[in-house]
Structure 1
Amino acid sequence: MQNAIDIIELIKIVILGIVQGITEWLPISSTGHMILVDEFITLNSSAEFKEMFFVLVQLGSIFAVILLYFNKLNPFSFKKTKEERKSTWMLWFKVAVASIPVMVFGFALNDYINEYFYNPWVVAVALIAYGIIFIWVENNQTAKHSYTVKTFDELSFRKAFFIGCFQSLAIIPGTSRSGSTIIGALLLGTSRYIATEFSFFLSIPVMFGASFLKLFDFGFNFTQAEFIYLIVGMLVSFIVSVIAIRFLLNYIQRNDFKAFGYYRIALGSIVILYFLFNR
């Protein structure tokens, strides 16, 4: 990239930030969508910067969670009673336990996944597979009326750990970090609301860790243009994420996740057809 700002490139960055902000929280795979969008809106940048951008732009989404849930996640708040502060600390401990599997698998398999799985075919298959799983889980759980965990106090450390194991499946592009977490939580008996919020909270340590590791690998040798593109992408992602999170929380109070399952199947099928006929 050059030091001068390219307006067309900036528009691409804004579009990618919008895609990231929407798809990070809806269980439809942000990484998968970013890879697919990049097929049509290719950044005029080095492969290294593009790879780093796709990870660091997620920080904008994380700051949206921190803003919206600051009081709920703050164990030092004087507005909370002693029991409420204790409950908040316990929630953080559960988040820490649930983060262990993805840190282990992510560290061990990151290079292998990047080399062999970051392509539209894997994304398409993962989109369809998880779409089917979402529909099956919703039909199965609704029929059994088996939502036994309706508060975070009722969420055990054991279940939190297994939810984290499901989250680790999201290292495969197209699966969706939030989608994997929500599916695991639903299978383990949590309500849709608890499953969704826990997926939000789990994103904080995982995505902060991934972002800082990627930034460390890339270094701080940004051009002026690259730095501006990154900040703009994160800002757009932050604003759109606030809207997307509020939408999802309102949506699941009256609906299940099957609509996202059908969307994933439709999108995955379109992607397969596109690449079959165009390559």
Structure 2
Amino acid sequence: MDFILALKAVIMGLVEGFTEFLPISSTGHLILAGSLLDFTGEKIKVFEIVIQAGAIFAVCWEYRAKIASVLSGLGSDARARKFVLNLLIGFLPAAVLGLIFAKKIKAVLFAPVPVALAFIVGGVIILLVERHARANPVSVRIHAVDDMSMLDALKVGLVQAFALIPGTSRSGASIIGGMALGLSRKAATEFSFFLAIPTLLGATVYSIYKERALLSLADLPLFGVGTLAAFVSAFLCVRWLLRYISTHDFTFFAWYRIVFGLVVIASAHFGWVVWAD
């Protein structure tokens, strides 16, 4: 692995980690970053999914006490079993729909302009949800992830499935969707973190298995560098986001999405940037 290739892997890992848990779409940013870096191709699409493992490890480390408590209590604690069941229920919609539509989505929507349009639409939705939250502060009915019902988990999982559209944002869909369904900002954000574990892990394992013919042991350094960069940046991002939501809403991210999407569309239309597929 030469220096330039390693540098590209590090940049992509940092992009993944810093964007995975923010409502701005890690997949969208990876597609755009890959286009700018000329870091594209079928193997790179697998790379972009596999380095999500770094983000998973970051969440597991940040919430290691909670995860250890849940795992140790599965045999005796009803709340622990309910928590795991809720995660599985929330994971299923994206898993099932992903298996059905993944190939079609990759073929049609994994390109800069469709991603930019999803950025803009998602930004508008965040603005609408935040406006509703300010106008109806008493609509919050769930203040902690342990208070969620199985139906709540299913609803959030169904909303998260919209993130199969590149540029939508898995975390954005689950957080903003959770808030719209009555979860507090903190509960929606934390459930999004936990829901990322089975969702991203499942996507990583499935992608490696499905595309195993493309991969070899020679790819390990590239994937390892990207995963490590994703872990470090995701860990920093999770810590920062938990502090941020204690005093801020997601309006900034909504406007970021809208402006960023418009810039990408303008750059593609006027030829300022040649976006690779």
The verdict on a shared fold, with TM-score over 0.5 as the criterion, is yes
Residue matched to 1:249? 242
Preserved contact between residue 27 and residue 166 of structure 2 (Cα < 8 Å): yes
Deviations 1:177-215 (A, max 9, x none): 000111210111100101001011111111111111110
1:160 corresponds to which letter in structure 2?
A
Partner of 1:158: 151
* Match of residue 62 from structure 2: 68
Is residue 56 of structure 2 the alignment partner of residue 56 of structure 1? no
Equivalent in 109, 112, 115 of residue 117 of structure 1: 109
Candidates 111, 117, 129, aligned match of 1:137: 129
CA distance in 1, matches of 2:27, 2:175: 17
Contact 1:71 1:77 in 2 (8 A): no
Letter in 2 for 1:16: M
CA contact (8 A) 1:73 1:88 kept: no
- Equivalent in 176, 190, 209 of residue 183 of structure 1: 176
SS of 2:247 mapped into structure 1: coil
Aligned letter for 2:53?
A: L
Of 168, 193, 197, the match for 1:204: 197
Deviations 1:237-260 (CA, angstroms, capped at 9, x unpaired): 001110000000100000001111
2:91 alignment counterpart: 99
Which shows bigger deviation, 220-229 or 167-176?
A: 220-229
Letter in 1 for 2:141: T
Q: Distance in 1 between matches of 2:266 and 2:21?
A: 26
Q: Following TM superposition, by how much is the alpha carbon of 1:96 offset from its aligned partner in structure 2, in angstroms?
A: 0.7
Q: What is the distance in 1 between the residues matched to 2:117 and 2:219?
A: 33
What is the TM-score normalised by the length of structure 1? Answer: 0.92
Aligned residues of 2:145 and 2:188 also touching (Cα < 8 A) = no
CA distance change for structure 1 residues 57 and 131 in 2, over 3 Å: closer, same or farther?
A: same
* Alpha-carbon contact 1:98-1:163 (below 8 Å) kept: yes
How far 1:153 moved relative to its partner?
3.1
Partner of 2:19: 23
RMSD between aligned alpha carbons? 1.6
State how many pairs are aligned: 269
Structure 1 unaligned blocks of 5 or more: none
Quote the Cα distance in structure 1 between the aligned partners of 2:146 and 2:236.
27
Aligned mate of 1:269, from 252, 262, 272: 262
Taking the aligned partners of 2:214 and 2:20, their CA distance within structure 1 comes to 27
Residues of 1 paired with 2:214 and 2:100: CA distance? 27
Q: Which residue of 2 aligns with 1:89?
A: 81
Q: Distance in 2 between matches of 1:76 and 1:101?
A: 24
Unpaired segments ≥5 residues, structure 2 = none
1:222 CA drift (Å): 4.0
Of 222-231 and 91-100, more deviation after overlay is shown by: 222-231
Instruction: Quote the Cα distance in structure 1 between the aligned partners of 2:242 and 2:217.
Output: 38
**CA apart distance, 1:224:** 5.2
Instruction: Give 1:87 shift.
Output: 1.9
Moved more, 198-207 or 222-231: 222-231
User: TM-score by structure 2 length?
Assistant: 0.93
Amino acid at match of 2:60: I
- 2:52 partner amino acid: Q
Equivalent residue number for residue 226 of structure 2? 233
CA 1:226–1:154 in 2, change beyond 3 Å: closer, same or farther? same
State the identity as a percent.
37
For residues 12 and 153 of structure 1, what CA distance do their matches in structure 2 show? 40
